[in-house]
Structure 1
Amino acid sequence: MLDFIGSRFDQILFSGWQHFSLVVQCLVLATLLAVAVAAAVYRNNTLTSIANSVSAIGLTIPSFALIGLMIAPIGFGVTPAVIVVTFFATLPVLRNAVVGLSGVAPSVVESARGIGMSRFRTLVQVELPLAWPIILNGIRVSAQMVMGIAAVAAYSLGPGLGSFIFSGLSRIGGANSLESVWTGVLGIVFLALILDFLLVGLGRLTTPRGIRV
């Protein structure tokens, strides 16, 4: 195992960086999309219910099947990987964003409106900061989930450590096949731990001191 890693260290490092970069960029895009949708629907019970249903049903879609469906119209490469990872990353964040914004006390919103703040300013300066810890929990869950889904995206020749897993599985029983699989799996676990650590630090830096748990 150590010989395998040592002989391919540069390749593993580059694939690991691609994997991490793919997940982080998709996570940022997913967070922006999820918060925008949540901000548009959370005041309406019907739309909130629809958003929650979409986020729940979306998670039941097999990621491998969705990758396969993306290949036909889009082709192989980075694009289907980005679409699938962003789609799955959006779902937990959307649910938590709706819950977080809906949970802000109406009295707080009314007080902000009472001192002359516009609806948009109240959302940005009052409601989103108060909902941020819950949204961040959704981001952390999403990050761990899509770290594995990004590996599945290697089926469409997407970037990342998933290539080691598929390469090893395609020649199982051959030389270095298990080492290749284990390298991909352990690398993804390691990246997931790093990303979660960074998100915890982000939470400490961005959560207002008065509402920290």
Structure 2
Amino acid sequence: MRRLYIIVEGQTEQEFVSQTLAPHLRDLGIYDITPILIRTSKTGKGGFVNYEHLKNDVTRLLSSEKDIIVSTFVDFFRIPTSVPKYKDSMRLNSDNDKVESLEQGMFESISDRRFIPYIQLHEFEALLFSSNKGFEEYCEVPVYKQTKSIVDSYENPEDINSSPETAPSKRLLKINPDYDKVLEGNLIALKVGINTMLERCPRFREWVEKLIAEVKK
């Protein structure tokens, strides 16, 4: 059984891996899961503003141990232009193709089969729209009535688009200006549940399934 490291861009994603994803993996016999904030300087952590920061963390981990898998959990929304193949990827027609191209560029830049790049389409908050249960639990009635309209409008929450006005997080902030990404985001995620996310979000499900397969090799 290999150890699993997941490099994340923020505290929200770090908490999600620890509180929602890791328990699911532990139920499947995978116990050694560590989320790591991107190191932006010798003392700073968090924020995906430059691909080199992420690459440094990936290569550092891969060189430190043999029996490990290193992955990423970062947003496509406002992804840095320094990510490999960025310009070519942005010329592609569909957002799914763009993300797959970016992930391939990241994989080629690391060139190690133990590395599984993953970019969330379009961002973490898309997973929250897998169900309205979390919003109904933690938000006021006027808020969760509007979130229900969004949930019902998308068969696949990952299709909620990434423009500055209509990205999942921007929709939430417009509906509820007091939305706390770290605290409320993860409480909502726990209420929605990992199984619902896996059922509704095919790219996310494919990533989790790949992690499970590779860690158990």
Q: TM-score, normalization: structure 1?
A: 0.25
Answer with 1 or 2: which has the greater Rg.
1
Name which structure has the greater RCO, CA cutoff 8 Å, separation 6+. Answer: 1
TM-score, normalisation: structure 2:
0.25
Structure richer in helix, relative to its length:
1
